[in-house]
Amino acid sequence: MHPLLTSVIDLLFPRKCPICGRRLKLENGTICMDCLSTLPHTRYHSWPGNPLEQRFYGIVPIERAASYFYYTPQSHAHKIIHELKYYGNALMGVEMGRCMATHFQIGDADFFEGIDLIVAVPLSAKRTRQRGYNQSAMIAKGISEATGIPLGNDSLVRTVDNPSQTRLKDNMQRWENVKGIFAVNHQEAHRIEGRHILLVDDVSTTGATLSACATTIKEAVPNCRISIATLAVTQR
Ligand SMILES: [Zn+2]
């Protein structure tokens, strides 16, 4: 779009940062730089054996796992997740995916080294219709755009429309709720064979959903490797 036209549109329809409510500058994405820079970063991407990785110990073997920021109530992080899940802000998912990918490449080790395919945790068809999109797929799209690693979201499907994990407060219920609800799409299984997959989710609370996905993939295609990236993570 012509820069002058962009300025006119911005003048007529000023955009606001959904997190702090301040007016967005032309060069900003869907969230302002202040909000982006004050997110509570976990730095898990350069912390081998971090608390997210520990959630999978003894359950399913993974290569590495990292989260972009901590999920704390009534915080910027909380607002971002709500925008993404409940206010139809799909673009924010893509943008946060891109920001996370850039952030994960800061430091000595490249978190994405050797990863062949990005797979988002699937939503049920019903939930995807209701929301209009799968929020994890939006994050995965952003990571793919920033890294050039292809998306393989069709490789994994959700076979059961289970109740939302967020309504279950009890950890045991959360693990039971996701048992056996995912399956590898056999037509796409060849794309996973011998590959290193990055599983992507919006928030990890107990690790139950990601464990269920990773276990399903490992059982169907034992020779693949799995790493994990989530936008947010709760602290226990
Ligand atoms: Zn802001």
Q: pLDDT per residue over 66-85, tens digit each? A: 999 999 888 889 999 999 99
Crossing angle for the helix pair 135-147 and 90-104, to the nearest 10 degrees: 40
- CATH code for the domain of 103: 3.40.50.2020
Distance 36 CA to ligand 1 centre (A): 7
The residue written with tokens 């202040």 in the block is 34
Same domain, 44 and 103: yes
Distance 123 CA to ligand 1 centre (A): 29
Same domain, 33 and 46: no
How many domains are there within the chain? 2
Same domain, 93 and 184: yes
Does the pLDDT value for residue 220 go beyond 80? yes
Distance 145 CA to ligand 1 centre (A): 23
Same domain, 30 and 66: no
Same domain, 73 and 176: yes
Same domain, 156 and 106: yes
- What is the domain range of residue 14? 1-37
CA distance readout (Å), 58 to 83, 149, 215, 220: 34, 29, 12, 19
Say if residue 28 is exposed, middle or buried (CB neighbours under 10 Å; 0-12, 13-18, 19+): middle
Distance 76 CA to ligand 1 centre (A): 9
Q: What are the tens digits of pLDDT across the range 117-135? A: 999 999 988 889 999 999 9
Distance 14 CA to ligand 1 centre (A): 14
Distance 158 CA to ligand 1 centre (A): 35
Identify the pLDDT of residue 162.
72
Residue pair 129/96 in contact (Cβ under 8 Å)? The answer is no
Same domain, 70 and 92: yes
Distance 59 CA to ligand 1 centre (A): 39
Distance 95 CA to ligand 1 centre (A): 14
Mean pLDDT for the stretch of residues 84-97? 93
Same domain, 16 and 48: no
Identify the pLDDT of residue 215.
95
The C-alpha atoms of residue 122 and residue 135 are separated, in whole angstroms, by 9
Same domain, 61 and 171: yes
Distance 23 CA to ligand 1 centre (A): 8
Distance 183 CA to ligand 1 centre (A): 39
Same domain, 110 and 72: yes
Distance 185 CA to ligand 1 centre (A): 40
Same domain, 10 and 82: no
Same domain, 50 and 125: yes
Identify the pLDDT of residue 64.
97
